[in-house]
Amino acid sequence: MVKAGLKLPDNINGYLPVPVQVGESASGDAIYHFVYMRRHQAHSSTAHGKNDERTVFAANLPADSTLSTIKAFCQGFGGSIVEKFIRDDNVETNGQIILVDKAACNRVLSFAKKIVKGEAEPFGWQGEGLNGTEKYLDKYLQTFPEREGLQSHVDEYMQRFAKAEEQKLREVQKMVNRVDDDGFTLVVSSKRKSKGGIGAEAPVEEVVSKPKKRNPEKTDFYKFQIRQQKKEKMNDLLRKFKNDQEKVRQLKESRRFTPY
């Protein structure tokens, strides 16, 4: 039989270079992926040593390899049955394929040699899910969240934003209310000792800082300036808050509030 147009060495550093068809090109030619296989040899007598005679070590397996795909893969080697697949800790595309018995292991390696020598045709990889460009396109699309879920998340965020703006406005109003027309902050005393030496609540007292004597014209100017600054600041905050509320309302009504 012809090697399906492939020129393969009998082995590479003891590995059988087994071609596996993973798809077709635009021109209809087969696309092959090479899996390198050999009988497994444990580095120690305790680590899976008893399974060596029925274990095949495979390198460069397809990226979507699982126990199910490995079982389907080995079925192509004369119907060999896989018991377990142990993935390599360092290289995810390498692993140990443990067959049910020694005869099944020998059958896999024997059939692999026939494929490499051109005495048997390569067979296809039965992967799970999408392959080729479809797989990478699907992976790319998954980087974007679903439209419905994203819209719900954005609506929730805008509600929290509106509440935070209202809270901020209330705090600003509260802060302004603590300042008198002349720009002086009211001070409230806390506790004072009674005659018996026991701490007692002191009556609330408003202590107003007394400004130094100034020129009447300057004093009037300072009062006017402070009042004007407070008024402008409050008006600016109210205007921004109302503008934000109006924008959110218009976007919700027109249903044009989309993330992209």
Amino acid identity at 167: Q
Q: What is the pLDDT of residue 3?
A: 40
Q: What is the pLDDT of residue 250?
A: 82
In angstroms, the Cα distances linking 102 to 43, 72, 96 are: 19, 19, 14
Residue 4 resides in a domain: no
Q: What is the mean pLDDT of each run of 10 residues along the chain (260 residues)?
A: 58 89 81 91 58 88 87 88 90 92 92 89 74 68 78 88 87 65 50 45 45 55 79 86 84 64
| Residue 245 tokens, joined | 């509320």
Residue 260 resides in a domain: no
Q: Are residues 118 and 36 in the same domain?
A: yes
Q: Are residues 20 and 137 in the same domain?
A: yes
Residue 159 resides in a domain: yes
Q: What is the pLDDT of residue 216?
A: 55
Q: Do the Cβ atoms of 39 and 105 come closer than 8 Å?
A: yes
> Which CATH number do you get for residue 95?
3.30.70.330
Q: Are residues 124 and 157 in the same domain?
A: no
Q: Which helix (H) or strand (E) covers residue 33, if one does?
A: strand 30-39
Q: What is the pLDDT of residue 56?
A: 93
Q: What is the pLDDT of residue 109?
A: 92
Q: Are residues 59 and 82 in the same domain?
A: yes
